[in-house]
Each structure stands twice: as structure tokens, then as C-alpha cells.
Structure 1
């Protein structure tokens, strides 16, 4: 007892603790699809992400995400994630994105758990790409072109590979050793042919699904508008724009994860399109939650060109934290820490 109150304990889950839980890709995709549907039904609450940019000479910045999902557990679950975005980390053998998440009981404010959210950050992004593709890409998509080899790239590719009858996966990144290592890692887990290529143009040529997940320091057009063929599904979500200004002009539908989130912050693949008025609430087709919850149709014809821009919603982090915490509690994983 402290100050007459009962002792409060919380569960700490390290990266290795979470790895040992053995959570599968299909479970992650299902959890993300469920919470995206809840968002479409108005059963979530979250604030726009904020950024903390320390005076570190441009080495990186922090994103702070806060969310609540009413449909999780008996009373819902609230959470806050802080994730660093430090592109040069590979020079030190570190992930470019390291994250920590705290989840709370929304009825009392009691912290329930603190966990390494690096895996959450990686897989929830790939799962959101996969959920978007499930509703917006052609079911017979055969060729995946993916630019970017770090962070969320592995989940993007493997989760898409699990949903579509892919015949070829093409990957590239700025450094030859990075893209070759990424391709080799993918070949260990998939029977789909994987080819590492030298340029974004070759990666995207005649691809059915085009994912731009680059880590640029300044805007550079890697995903050319002319590369988007009829029926293609396009996912640009790099921190810095890698697309041409007229990309949206050829799209039949533009879908985002959340329109308010699309307008917030200093970063994002379509930041300039929003700021310049090329992407507005009027020419936006839908938020993905509207489609997943059945409010609007997704892909309606094979020839539609559809773009999905997702910036990363905190409610995805909360949903996956709930999945992890529930599994951890069932096997008593992690370390219990005295809070007060």
C-alpha cells in the first residue's frame, strides 16, 4: 500500500518477449482489418500525430501517436506510442524506427503495460497496406513492385504475398547491398520469385501493385505517373514525397486512412498534394474505414487505377497492443513491474 491506495502493477514486454508469442501475419491483418472497420463505424477516438524534432542536425525526429478503441476488451483500450524515425540508424546497426508503447485502462487511467512497439510499427504498416489491397487491388494481381528495403518493407511484401497469386516480386533500394540482402531475406520465406533490381523504374514497370516506401531526405520522383498502368493499385507512403505532382490526375479513386490525419503534420508522401489543393476532401473518394465497414464500395472494375495513402493511425497500434497483451497475459509473458 502506498498513500492508502492498493498496489498497481503493470506488465513490461520486451522485444524478445513479444517475439516468443509467435503472433502470425494473418492474426495481425485480421486485427487491423477489424479496427479499420471500427474506425469506419465511429467506434474509435484518436488525435492527429504530433512531431518532436530535436536539434540533432537532421538525424531524425519522433512521432507521438495517441488513440482509443472502444471495441477492445470489456471497456476498450487507450494507448500512446512514441516512435523515432532516424534514417541513418543503419550505420550503427540499429533499426530506423524504434518505438515504445504504453496502454491504459480508459475507465481509471491505470497503466496496464509498457511494451516494445518496434514490431508493432513494422507489422501494422504492412497490415494496413494488405487490408487496403484486399479491398482495392485486383484479385488477380500478379506482379508486386516495392521500393524500400528497411523498416516496414518486409511486412509489406510478405503480407501482400499471402493475399495474392503473385508471380513476381521486384524490390529495390538506394544501396545495392541493402536491396540484395532484402531480396535474400524474402526468398527464405516465400516461393514467389523475388528479383532485386537497380532502379525504381524497373521495379514499377507493368506492376499490378506498386508500393513506394522509400526513405528520402528530400523530394525525388521515384514513382513516375507514367508507370501506373490500367488496373494498378498504388501505395505511396514514404515520409518524404517520391511521386510526381500529377500522379493523382490519372487515379480513378484516391483513398486515405483518415482525412484529418492526412492534413496533419509536416511529413507524408502526398503532403505537397494536400498543401497545394491537389488532394481535397471533395476529390477524395473515401477513407478506408468507410470501405471496410461496408459504407462504400472498394474496387468496382478491373481497369480502375486506385491509390491508397496511409499515414499510420494510432488505433492500429492500440489494436495490436491489445492482441499482444492478451496473448501475453494468457501465458504470463513479460515482467511485472511495481508502478506505485
Structure 2
């Protein structure tokens, strides 16, 4: 059992002066005692691109060979290493970004995990999107990127984490999947229709990954996937980290309850 707290400080200040803090407290569900309290920022930065990669594994066209990542922030930097973990057959890796330090970080992250692979930094977004079997859009709200539905080839999978996809990729998709439809209705308002709501999804991802519902029905359908993240994955990953840390004697033990 666990509780995650999130706090964004300095909302009345410029973006550079704002700070976002998350903490995860894990309890033993047998004894009720606390197991660990940890900084959750690293966990959150790992689980979201991991879910995008699992979405790709379940929903990408069979034999997918090309992937395009839009954005070079935290999610963009980790997207390709995770994608290559779930789909090692990818042979064309593309990224689109506008921040030089972010582009450098994307290359460094891939090199750290897959030193024999390289990234093609693209400037022609339309041509890159037209060749991509998988697109993962992780950019911030001010990105100039907005991939349209008619840019996509048959069978393409578009995964929205942040920004970089136009609403048409959802509204004209042959199939849509969300990690949580309820959360998508709250956080996906920029993809909304004329009535102010995103269209209903065809499936949620938990039953897809459990094998209850198929991710893809044909090789030609264009699929839109909305990855808003699930806090339960923070708990699962945090618990695993806590187990590993305790086994290695890491962390600081604090006597709180006896």
C-alpha cells in the first residue's frame, strides 16, 4: 500500500522559478508498518516512458522498424531506450526537438543504454512522421510540432504523452486507447471536440496488456494512444526499488514506529 503526494511550488512565479516535488511512502500491507519514503521524481520519469514502450509493444504494427520521438525533455530523453527494449527490431530512430541541450541529452541517454545505436535528428517533421511506424509525442505545450492525421501512414501508432500531435490524430484514428479514459477526459482537453470532450476510446490499456482486449485489430489501422500515466505504476515501481535498496543496504533507516 502506498501514498504519493505531489506539490508544485511557485505557481505565481515564472516557469524557471517553479519547482515540482513528488514523494512516495510505501507501507507493508501485512504489518501496516512503513517500508520506505522516497523521492518519486525518478520513478515518475521512468514509468511513463516505460508505459509508452509497452503501448508500442502491444499496439504497433507487426514488424515496426521506425520510431519518431517529438520533444527532448525528460520523457523524450528516455523514450527511445525504452522503445528499443520492447521492440529491438527498430532500425530507424528519429527525434524532433528545438532545444540544443535537450538534443544532446537525447543522444547521451541512448548512447548510455544502446551504445551501438544512433539517432537521426529531423527538421522536416511531416516527412519524418510519414515514415514512422511509431510516434511518441512528449513535447511541452509551447512546441511548434503538431502532427496531423493525414501525415500518418497506414498502420501507424501515435502515442501522446505531452504535446506534438494535432487533435486530428485522435479524431480520425481507426482505434483509440487510453491508459485511463477518465483521466484523459480531465487532462486531454486540448484534444477535445466541439463539445469540449475527447471522443470515447475503444479500449483502456490495462485490459490490453493483460491480454483481455486486443491492442490492434489489423495491420492497416491507425491507432491513437493516450498515455496520461497511472499512479499505481509509481507504487509498483517504487516498491521494487525499495526492495532492491533494502537488499543492498542503501538508504537511511529511521526509527518511527515500534
Classify the TM-score, shorter chain: 0.7 to 0.9
1:201 and 2:126 are equivalent in the alignment: yes
On the 8 A contact 2:167/2:191 being kept in 1, the answer is no
The two structures have a TM-score, normalised by structure 1, of 0.66
Aligned to 1:262: 184
Distance in 2, Cα, partners of 1:275 & 1:97: 32
The two structures have a TM-score, normalised by structure 2, of 0.85
Name structure 1 gaps, 5 residues minimum.
1-76
Equivalent residues in 2 for 1:243-322, closer than 5 Å: 243-264=165-186, 267-268=187-188, 271-273=191-193, 276-280=196-200, 284-322=201-239
Asked which structure has the greater RCO (Cα within 8 Å, sep 6+), the reply is: 1
On the 8 A contact 1:187/1:194 being kept in 2, the answer is no
Match of 1:335 among 229, 252, 255: 252
Q: Label 1:246 to 1:85 Cα distance change in 2 as closer, same or farther (>3 A).
A: farther
Greater CA drift, 267-276 or 139-148:
267-276
Distance in 2, Cα, partners of 1:118 & 1:308: 24
Equivalent residues in 2 for 1:223-242, closer than 5 Å: 223-238=147-162, 241-242=163-164
Aligned to 2:75: 152
Q: Show CA shifts across 1:94-126 (max 9, x none).
A: 9x8653211224466543211121221111011
Q: Label 1:100 to 1:227 Cα distance change in 2 as closer, same or farther (>3 A).
A: same
Q: Label 1:126 to 1:313 Cα distance change in 2 as closer, same or farther (>3 A).
A: same
Distance in 1, Cα, partners of 2:210 & 2:250: 34
Match of 1:222 among 120, 138, 146: 146
Q: Label 1:80 to 1:180 Cα distance change in 2 as closer, same or farther (>3 A).
A: closer
**Partner secondary structure for residue 228 of structure 2:** coil
Count, aligned residues: 254
1:100 and 2:17 are equivalent in the alignment: no
Q: Label 1:273 to 1:328 Cα distance change in 2 as closer, same or farther (>3 A).
A: farther
Distance in 2, Cα, partners of 1:115 & 1:209: 33
Q: Label 1:278 to 1:294 Cα distance change in 2 as closer, same or farther (>3 A).
A: same
On the 8 A contact 1:129/1:156 being kept in 2, the answer is yes
Name structure 2 gaps, 5 residues minimum.
none
Aligned to 2:38: 115
On the 8 A contact 2:191/2:198 being kept in 1, the answer is no
Greater CA drift, 202-211 or 117-126:
202-211
Q: What is the RMSD of the two structures over their aligned residues, measured on CA atoms?
A: 3.0
Match of 1:213 among 119, 135, 138: 138
